[in-house]
Amino acid sequence: MSTALVTGASTGIGLSFARILATRGHDLVIVARHRDRLEALAIELAAMSSTPISVEVLAADLAAPEQLQRVVDRLSDVTRPVDICVNNAGMGVREPFGRSAVEDEQLMIDVMVTAVMRLSHAIVPGMVARGTGAIINVSSIAGWMPTGTYSAIKAWATTFSESLHNEVKQDGVSVIAVCPGYTRTEFHQRAGMTMSSVPSWMWLDADEVVAQALKDARKGKSWSVAGRKYKAMGWAARVLPRSVVAKVTAAR
């Protein structure tokens, strides 16, 4: 039976990953900041599987170096190999860069760049040695659009994933960047963002994003986009001149 580790597992897309992987019979290591939420979730996940699975709780704030190291150590433990690593933990900042707190900008980089790099670096050697494994990095379609630090971070996540995919695919390891559009989660609420102006047809369900991601990962793709509308938007953002993409983004 394979084991999957999911960061940011208590809410949103991470929660959907945890639930879907549980129903497919994977043992789980669930990572988030709040132990009480994780412990309640562990009970729920164990009950969801038709076969007995283990659910390990690992409470950690990935922005805190000593807590991040605990997750690194878990992924590096060759006696308890992790077969799927889902780097999902994330956050957003409501204010534009010029008015935001630099501490918040740094926190985004710590959680969505530094932690993703460290956790990927910890798990790759074991996966390569075993000749199997998957790393799933939750990025965003925003990574193809100039929208501040968040989009720059997601651009890094997508490029990093594609690069690592090309490096290790011959060793039997797959790496994929998941690039969703607007998705119904707690993300925007936690960031204090008002999203009432976004039309209903633009919203995705988290389960839809996860199902597409797992399907594309099995196919060995290096990135995944759920929904026809976002596939089209992603294609346009990648092929149109950057000046055009910048103007459209600014108008939005």
pLDDT for 191-250, tens place per residue? 455 556 666 656 789 999 999 999 999 999 999 998 787 776 766 667 656 655 455 555
Closest to 209 measured CA to CA, from 155, 118, 141: 141
User: CB 168: neighbour CB atoms within 10 A?
Assistant: 18
- Return the pLDDT at 187: 56
Dump pLDDT digits (tens) for 90-143: 998 888 889 999 999 999 999 999 999 999 999 999 999 999 999 999 999 988
DSSP state of 241: -
Closest CA to 190 of 11, 38, 65, 35: 11
Residue 245: its pLDDT value, please? 47
Percent with pLDDT over 70 in the chain: 85
Dist. CA 147–CA 124, nearest whole Å? 31
With beta carbons less than 8 A apart as the criterion, state whether 53 and 1 touch: yes
DSSP-derived letter for residue 181 is -
Reply yes or no on whether the pLDDT at 150 is more than 50: yes
- Alpha-carbon gap, residue 182 to 187, rounded angstroms: 10
> Which range (15-29, 69-83, 190-204) has the least confidence?
190-204
- Mean pLDDT across the chain, nearest whole number? 89
The Cα 236–Cα 37 span in angstroms is 39
- Total domain count, the chain: 1
The radius of gyration computed from the CA coordinates of the chain, to the nearest angstrom, equals 18
Instruction: Give the range of the structural domain holding residue 226, as residue numbers without chain letter.
Output: 3-251
pLDDT in tens, 81-104: 999 999 999 998 888 889 999 999
pTM, full prediction: 0.88
- pLDDT of res. 142: 86
- Give the up-direction half-sphere exposure of residue 206: CA atoms within 13 A in the CB hemisphere: 18
- For the annotated catalytic residues, the residue numbers are 150
- What tokens does 136 get? 């799933």
CATH at 193: 3.40.50.720
